[in-house]
Amino acid sequence: MPLEPGSTSIAEFHAKLQKSSRIVALCGAGLSVASGLQTFRDPGGFWTNEQADELASPEKFETDPDLVWLFYSHRRHTSLQVAPNPGHHALAELARARPEFFWAPGLSQVAGHPKEQLRMLHGSLFDLKCNDAKRFDDPLCPALAPASRDLEGGLPSMPLLDPKQQVPRIPASELPHCPQCGTLLRPGIVRFREELDSEMLGEIKAWIDEKPVDLVLSVGTAAEVWPAAGFVVQARKQGAALAVVNTDTENLGAARDLKYGDFIFVGDSAELSPKLFEPLISPKSGESIGYLI
């Protein structure tokens, strides 16, 4: 009996998963919500009097590097306080069960995921440009200590997140600088209006073109941002089935227009992923440890 477009049957998905050897997954910020991290598009996606997409822009770093560094330092601190959720662990287990599984996350989490199958499309909060060093110091420097204060009583209790309070400015001389050349460092995240790593994009495209992909997973993302969303389109053109796992299924980008043989599961990806990948993962997969990056 043929599947209806956008099947919601976990049993039918299990059957497809077990037959799939080549899998590519595009994972978004929605995967980390259950760990306690907000997405940019949440109702609370504003930071003090600035919008996140402006703080995460090259132009803002040129004019107000201290505000940008406070913004990213708060994100670094928050990421270091939370733990991987069952969705991250389930995906890591799935990668170990399927050696050809290729995970292409945005701002996602390493939870024991095989490094050779992991591509950080949007960089890492813990990479620093210009010397590409990883630093997990929290705070990164004394001037950024206000961004590393733990919250009490919810987000509004932190002055940096309160639009009614003015953020104390920090001289550029007190911000992190490269120990080798003295240049002002910046977080190693791909910023708005910046291009992604062309070498990495080419590598992923070549992997998809090498031979047909059996299954594409769109987890915790609307698959709206290109060129990352293009991997979904590329694999589907080759005949790959698509499985969407997301709370919002009304505003999908490349993951829309489901066909016969595709799947859609509405809900928290942290709860759904272990159930969906159950035939191939260990029941103790949640014991892995990792950082949000």
Report whether 144 contacts 172 (CB < 8 A): no
Of residues 281, 265, 267, 291, the one with CA closest to residue 90? 281
> Which among 126, 176, 134 has a CA at the least distance from the CA of 292?
126
Of 89, 113, 122, 177, the catalytic one is: 122
Token representation of residue 169: 């400015």
CA 272 vs CA 67, 120, 171, 226: distances in Å: 37, 23, 46, 26
Structure tokens at 214: 């059996």
Q: Is the backbone peptide bond immediately before 105 cis, with ω within 30 degrees of 0?
A: no
CA dihedral 145, 147, 152, 153 (to 10 degrees): 160
Contact 213, 235 (CB under 8 A): yes
Contact 125, 79 (CB under 8 A): yes
Distant-in-sequence, close-in-space partners of 239: CB < 8 Å, separation ≥ 6: 212
The pair of structure tokens assigned to 56 is 């995460």
- Interacting residues of 93 by C-beta distance below 8 A, sequence separation 6+: 277, 280, 281, 282, 285
Residue 102: beta bridge partners?
A: 24
The answer to whether the bond into 139 is cis (omega within 30° of 0) is yes
Q: Among 125, 118, 87, which Cα is nearest to 102's?
A: 118
Whether 122 is a known active-site residue: answer: yes
Q: Any idea which residues carry the catalytic annotation?
A: 122
